[in-house]
Every structure is written in C-alpha cells, then in structure tokens.
C-alpha cells in the first residue's frame, strides 16, 4: 500500500467523531475497507451505535492465533477554543497529523488494518491466523473488551499487541486504574442554625483527610512504581445560606500488581465504614470502573521479539517501558487462557488526551511493517 493511501485511511478515521460513543461509524468504515480487500469482518454490538469489530486472515484451520487489538473510541474534545486545529480536521503540518484520537489510538488502529490488508494482498501463506480486534468504550470502562472476553473471542489467542501510543517503544506492564464514588448524606437546614442539621460537606472532608494518608504504607511496585491516588471531583451544596444535605466525590487510584484493586477496595471500604460509625456521619462507597494491573514478563519471547523488531524498523534502540495508565489488557487478562501482551504503537503516550493531539506520520507509516514482522515471526516460533 502506498504512503498516500495509508495517510488517507488515517485521515478518514480521525475525521469520524467517536468521542465516548458512535464507534459503529468507525466499525462501518473499517469493515467496508477490509471487505474491499477481500477480508470479512464481523461487528459485535455492545449498545445502539456502539459495535466492536473482529476480522481475521490466515489459515482458518490453524490453532496459532496472534491478535492486533485497539479501541475505536476517543476521549472528548474538551474546550474547542483550546485547539489550534479542529479536532476532526486531521490537518497535516510537517510530520504531524493533528486531531482527537490521532495518537490514542486511531493511528495504531489504521496501521493494524493496513497490516491485514497488505498481508492478504501479498498472497503469502501465513504461519497461523492474525486477528484484528477493535473495541468500544475503552476510554470509559472498557465495556467492549470485557464483552469480547466474556464471549470467548480471545480464548485461542497466543499473543497480542495493543496499539496504544508508545512512540514505538515496548510496554510490558502498566498500573491498574480504579474509579470510585463516595457519597455523604446529611440533613439540610438554614445556615443560621447549623446545630439542627447535619453538614454532608464537612463529613465528606473527614474522608478526604483520611484518604490523604490511607496508602502511605504501600510499598512501590518493582515494575510500575508507587500506587498513585487522587480525589478529582467534588460536589456539594446548592446555595450559600443552606447547610448542604448531600455531597459526592470521585477519586482515581492507580493500583500495582503487588497491591491490586481488591486490596484498594477493601481499604477504602474500611475507612468509609469506620468514619460512618461516628454519630451523624453517613458515607457510602461505590466502585465505578476497575482496570487490573497488567504485567508480562520482561523476558517473555514476545517482549524481546517486539523490542528487536521495533528497534530494527525504527533504526534506534527501542526501550522496554511501563506506563501509569490502563488499557484493554486489564479485561483480556481476565480470560481463563493466559497469553503475553505488549503495548506498542505510534504516537507519544504523553500526547494522548491533550488538546492539539497529534501523531507523527513517520512513526505511523512504518508501524504496519513492525506489526507484520512481529506477528509473522511470533507465529513461526
């Protein structure tokens, strides 16, 4: 496939709005593109307008399967006035293509589709099967990868690349990510007589103060570093002269393999129950979304192969890294059948979710070469 055709595919993908929804429009485009090249793809609905996409090439009788996986959604645009380039424009300036999702992760999704098309059109006999998996909702709960895992779509996979933006470096581990909500119920009353009410806000502050030191004893992970915790959203009160009868906050915690989401949830529940045992305090705790930490052994053959291939194609020493985010790998790890997973794609991890997001075309254009060689070499071995 020539350079301009590859760029055109990426341009079209970025121009499709799939911010936290509408993934079917992306799936429709990719399904038609694959069909035009003789590749059958199947859509699997999660909700109205939200469909995952699964496609495969190779010997259908082979028991060897390598997966190229990515998500079809993006985060929201944020404040449009903060963008120098329209987030759906896919404008190109120098080596950069700008737009929401260009790095996270439509650049890698496009490269994965190009991989299937180029291998199909090469006419070569593949040493197994190569499967593309495109999911919905990764940015907010990973419902697509959870659904496909539960349906057994990955039960026969031997190895997987997830195409999050890594600038071509190989990520073998990442933190978990847990989102939670704490609610505080009180008794509203006029602010001139607070002694007759229950201030839900000040009771919530008790949780905030306790949470600040709640994980001080947790030792850093040898792979992903320290457990990271933050309270990020707080809401309480309707007007200044009324004691608030309700308050909520939301927090995010990046767990570690050694101190995982289960341990985090247990500790948060403990502090909420402890505070609520005091007179006049009524707190409740709820888990909103939970991604488990993921680690593939740094010496695993897939990790070393990916590092070798990416170094060769990019003509530089590619690093092995960990990231302090979460990916669909957290859901895929819940499958009964375990297999190695690496994260590898075009674009800078630090550029994801930012205004004026972009992907370097020089990275994008060779990423399909990297994916092809890793998949073929891994299947041969």
pLDDT in tens, 344-368: 999 999 999 999 999 999 999 999 9
Q: Classify each residue of 201-225 as buried b or exposed e, where b means 16 or more C-beta atoms within 10 Å of its C-beta.
A: bbbbbbbeeebeebbeebeebebbe
Q: How far apart are CA 94 and CA 359, in angstroms?
A: 11
Across the range 260-287, mean pLDDT stands at 97
Looking at residue 141, what is its pLDDT? 87
Looking at residue 145, what is its pLDDT? 97
- pLDDT at position 18 over 90: yes
Q: List 53's β-bridge partners, or say none.
A: 43, 134
Q: How far apart are CA 345 and CA 332, in angstroms?
A: 18
Using DSSP bridges, classify how beta strands 41-47 and 50-58 pair: parallel, antiparallel or unpaired: antiparallel
Which phi and psi (to 5°) does residue 92 adopt? -110, 125
Q: How far apart are CA 314 and CA 169, in angstroms?
A: 10
For CATH 3.40.630.10, the residue range(s) in the chain are 3-174+294-380
Band the pLDDT of 325: cuts 50, 70, 90.
Answer: confident
- pLDDT at position 324 over 90: no
For CATH 3.30.70.360, the residue range(s) in the chain are 177-291
The predicted-structure confidence for 144-187, as pLDDT tens digits, reads as follows: 999 999 999 999 999 999 999 999 999 999 988 999 999 999 99
Which phi and psi (to 5°) does residue 191 adopt? -70, -10
The CA radius of gyration of the chain, in Å to the nearest whole number, is 23
Q: How many CB atoms lie within 10 A of CB 100?
A: 27
Query: Across the chain, what does the average pLDDT equal?
Result: 96
pTM of the entire structure? 0.90
Across the range 226-253, mean pLDDT stands at 96
Q: Which residue reads 């915690």 in tokens?
A: 253
Pick the closest to residue 339 from 381, 370, 294 (CA basis): 294
Tell me the DSSP string of 210-265.
HHTTTTTTPPPBTTTBS-EEEEEEEEE-SSTTEE-SEEEEEEEEE--SSS-HHHHH
Looking at residue 176, what is its pLDDT? 85
Is residue 99 within 8 Å of 358, Cβ to Cβ? yes
Band the pLDDT of 46: cuts 50, 70, 90.
Answer: very high
Q: How far apart are CA 78 and CA 90, in angstroms?
A: 17
Pick the closest to residue 352 from 174, 85, 103 (CA basis): 103
- pLDDT at position 308 over 90: yes
Contacts of 113 by beta carbon, 8 Å cutoff, 6+ apart = 9, 30, 33, 34, 132
Which phi and psi (to 5°) does residue 156 adopt? -105, 10
Per-residue DSSP letter, 76:
-
Query: What 3-state DSSP class applies to 136?
Result: coil
- pLDDT at position 70 over 90: yes
Band the pLDDT of 75: cuts 50, 70, 90.
Answer: very high
User: What's the CATH number for 3-174+294-380?
Assistant: 3.40.630.10
List of long-range contacts for 33-41, beta carbons under 8 Å, 24+ apart: 33/9, 33/113, 33/117, 34/113, 34/116, 34/117, 37/116, 37/117, 37/120, 37/121, 38/120, 39/116, 39/117, 39/120, 41/132
Residue 99 vs residue 323, higher pLDDT: 99
Q: How far apart are CA 20 and CA 321, in angstroms?
A: 28
Dihedral angle sign, alpha carbons of residues 151, 154, 145, 294: positive
Which phi and psi (to 5°) does residue 37 adopt? -110, 20
The predicted-structure confidence for 106-142, as pLDDT tens digits, reads as follows: 999 999 999 999 999 999 999 999 999 999 999 988 9
User: What's the CATH number for 177-291?
Assistant: 3.30.70.360
User: 218: which 2 tokens?
Assistant: 């947790």
């Amino acid at each position: 496939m020539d350079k301009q055709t590859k760029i055109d595919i990426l341009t079209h993908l970025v121009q499709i709005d799939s911010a936290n929804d509408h993934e079917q429009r992306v799936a429709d485009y990719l399904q038609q593109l694959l069909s035009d090249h003789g590749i059958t793809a199947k859509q699997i609905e999660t909700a109205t307008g939200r469909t995952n996409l699964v496609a495969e090439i190779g010997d259908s009788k082979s028991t060897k399967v390598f997966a190229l996986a990515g998500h079809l959604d993006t985060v929201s645009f944020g404040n449009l006035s903060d963008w120098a380039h329209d987030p759906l424009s896919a404008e190109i300036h120098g080596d950069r293509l700008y737009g929401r999702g260009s790095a996270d992760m439509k650049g890698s999704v496009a490269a994965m589709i190009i991989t299937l098309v180029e291998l199909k059109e090469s006419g070569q006999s593949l040493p197994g099967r190569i499967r593309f998996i495109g999911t919905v909702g990764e940015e907010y709960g990973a419902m697509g990868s959870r659904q496909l895992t539960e349906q057994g779509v990955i039960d026969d996979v031997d190895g997987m690349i997830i195409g999050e933006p890594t600038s071509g470096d190989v990520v073998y581990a990442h933190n978990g990510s847990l989102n939670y909500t704490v609610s505080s119920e009180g008794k509203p009353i006029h602010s001139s007589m607070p002694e007759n009410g229950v201030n839900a806000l000040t009771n919530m502050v008790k949780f905030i103060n306790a949470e600040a030191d709640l994980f001080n004893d947790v030792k850093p992970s040898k792979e992903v570093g320290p457990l990271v915790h933050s309270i990020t959203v707080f809401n309480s009160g309707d007007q200044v002269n009324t004691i608030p009868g309700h308050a909520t906050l939301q927090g995010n915690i990046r767990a570690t393999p050694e101190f995982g989401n289960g341990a985090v949830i247990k500790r948060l529940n403990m502090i909420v129950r402890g505070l609520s045992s005091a007179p006049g305090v009524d707190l409740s705790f709820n888990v909103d979304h939970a991604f488990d930490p993921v680690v593939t052994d740094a010496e695993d053959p897939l990790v070393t192969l990916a590092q070798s291939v990416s170094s060769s194609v990019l003509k530089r020493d590619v690093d092995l890294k960990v990231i302090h985010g979460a990916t669909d790998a957290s859901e895929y790890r819940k499958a009964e059948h375990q297999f190695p997973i690496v994260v590898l794609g075009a674009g800078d991890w630090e550029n994801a979710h930012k205004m004026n997001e972009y992907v370097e075309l020089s990275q994008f254009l060779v990423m399909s070469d990297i994916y092809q060689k890793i998949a073929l070499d891994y299947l041969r071995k």
